Structure 1
Amino acid sequence: MTAQPSGTTSAGVARVAHRAVGSAEAEAANRASWDADADDYHAEHGDFLGDADFVWCPEGLTEQAARLLEDVDGTDVLEIGCGSAPCARWLLTRGARVVGVDLSEGMLTHGVAANARTGLHPALLRANAERLPLADSGFDVACSAFGAVPFVPSLDAVFGEVHRVLRPGGRWVFAVTHPMRWIFPDDPGPAGLTVTQSYFDRTPYVEVDDADSASYVEYHRTLGDYIRALRAAGFTLDDLIEPEWPDGHTRVWGQWSPLRGKLFPGTAIFRCRRD
């Protein structure tokens, strides 16, 4: 999982803007941002995520508990936006054949090191989720825990690529920041309980450097936007999971916190099937 709250990148941020950002600019910005932050990200979150565990979200929901992917033994699984690939390695321990793709070379470098530590070796590829360098109908399952989907301008492109590489009946399960979080500031404390932005404003969140070039980009979609894009790409939505904040879970991760988690959802997990 590579959930990262906006406003925390270190790659030359000068100010925050809300403006249109196309695919090429978003790819360059987010690749540089994740490359720059990979070490700090793992220093802060590595213990929580583990080297070979599948954690869906900051609420701590695991695939072992939720079984959203069903039985993966003997299946071909693609993880999109795999980061350092702890989820991919966990899937290997369940008998799957796994490929992980990520935009960031810095994150994948951590993945290669974790492969060596664990002796678990999913195939790791650097790729943009809008253009997967993979053959048609090669996978039974595709998954993403906060990877890729929020960081690309075209849901149609990503969902179309996932549909293309899945076999008929294949499962597509992905977690994103819950769309209602868009209306609140990225603040884990009381200031993060006050609405400041319209839910219906799809203008992306952009951090820009001194030259007004994007250094981090994240895109907002409503729940309806996700559902319509899934249907247009040829998926059936089987379930929408909104994990509740667990009792006794005290971890603060960016804008995720016990205070906010007890009042409104922070994560949406879409469980779909290729038609």
Structure 2
Amino acid sequence: MNQEYEHEDPHGTAEDAAAATRRDAGEAESSRASRGWWDRNADEYQTEHGAFLGDDRFVWGPEGLDEAEAGLLGPAAALKGRDVLEIGAGAAQCSRWLAAQGARPVALDLSHRQLQHALRIGGEVPLVEADAGALPFRDGSFDLACSAYGAVPFVADPVRVFREVRRVLRPGGRWVFSVTHPIRWAFPDEPGPEGLSVAASYFDRTPYVEQDEEGRAVYVEHHRTLGDRVRDVVAGGFRLVDLVEPEWPSWNSQEWGSWSPLRGNLIPGTAIFVCERLDEE
């Protein structure tokens, strides 16, 4: 996981605003940009959002939907003894929660610095530094896989990631991942009233890219419509079991980048896809 929804402007930060653009970005460039961005920004991210995430809490998004309440991976009591892969794990907060339920999680992340924060917090969770598109595990190694805003929004070829996840899951395995709700791409990234008017085409799939003075990408995010995401799930070898769009709870008064109570009460901010591995007959 890492709650990578932290990026203050899914479409730009103050220091990079002048370099923000929409252009094509392939797999290698996207992966390189994500690794570099998270290695540079992990410290600030954990300082700013660590209290919300907790050290051993499983939160699906800025709304604060907790896996302990939602049970999207299954009842907490049924997690005991299950092998679970967390993709885009960041500081492994979700994996620690899983371990506390008796599961056997493995926390995987592209960023070395994020995994250093996982070591700093501690716990008996195995950590793996790797790309989600090339998982370093044998076929059928896990019962479950999950990702809370990790990896999926930042890869150029999500179907490749999904097929890798399917490969390492056992028959009937469940794959649950959350991303920024696709409708948010049509609105400005502002938490206030200015973020409530459509400003761009929802159907424009051109990646959002921040680049340095030499034109090299330093941050890349890929947009897929809701229909695209469903088709990607199916092409990856999964059946979509549920699509969860968390409502903004009354207790959550926090603004997180462009997420806010104002916007959260009017338009969805997070989409959670609950999928099961399709097995060949």
TM score, norm. by length of structure 1: 0.96
Q: CA deviation at 1:12?
A: 6.3
Structure 2: tracts of 5 or more residues without a match: none
For 1:17-32, what aligned pairs fall within 5 Å after superposition? 17-32=21-36
**Structure 1 residues 171-222: Cα deviation after superposition (integer angstroms, max 9, x where no partner):** 0000000000000111111111111111111000000111111110000001
For 1:243-262, what aligned pairs fall within 5 Å after superposition? 243-262=246-265
CA distance in 1, matches of 2:61, 2:54: 13
1:180 aligns with 2:207: no
For 1:189-208, what aligned pairs fall within 5 Å after superposition? 189-208=192-211
CA distance in 2, matches of 1:11, 1:191: 21
* Alignment equivalent of 1:98, drawn from 84, 99, 105: 105
CA distance in 1, matches of 2:143, 2:5: 25
CA distance in 1, matches of 2:18, 2:38: 17
The runs of at least 4 aligned residues of structure 1 exceeding 4 Å deviation read 7-14
Note if contact 2:209-2:220 (Cα within 8 Å) is conserved in structure 1.
Answer: yes
Note if contact 2:11-2:208 (Cα within 8 Å) is conserved in structure 1.
Answer: no
CA distance in 1, matches of 2:107, 2:32: 20
- Who is 2:42 aligned against? 38
Corresponding pairs, count: 271
| Change in CA separation of 1:234 and 1:113 when aligned onto 2, cut-off 3 Å | same
CA distance in 2, matches of 1:33, 1:14: 17
- Who is 2:217 aligned against? 214
CA distance in 2, matches of 1:11, 1:126: 28
Note if contact 2:16-2:210 (Cα within 8 Å) is conserved in structure 1.
Answer: no
2:33 maps to a residue whose letter is A
For 1:164-175, what aligned pairs fall within 5 Å after superposition? 164-175=167-178
CA distance in 2, matches of 1:47, 1:4: 13
CA distance in 2, matches of 1:58, 1:133: 30
Cα RMSD (Å): 1.3
- Who is 1:2 aligned against? 4
1:82 aligns with 2:89: yes
1:248 maps to a residue whose letter is W
* Alignment equivalent of 2:80, drawn from 73, 77, 100: 73
1:55 aligns with 2:62: no
- Who is 2:237 aligned against? 234
Note if contact 1:244-1:265 (Cα within 8 Å) is conserved in structure 2.
Answer: yes
- Who is 1:125 aligned against? 128
Match of 2:229, SS state, is helix
**Structure 1 residues 79-104: Cα deviation after superposition (integer angstroms, max 9, x where no partner):** 00001100001100001111111111
- Who is 2:114 aligned against? 107
Percent identity between the two aligned chains: 56
**Structure 1 residues 11-51: Cα deviation after superposition (integer angstroms, max 9, x where no partner):** 86641110000111111111111111111101110000001
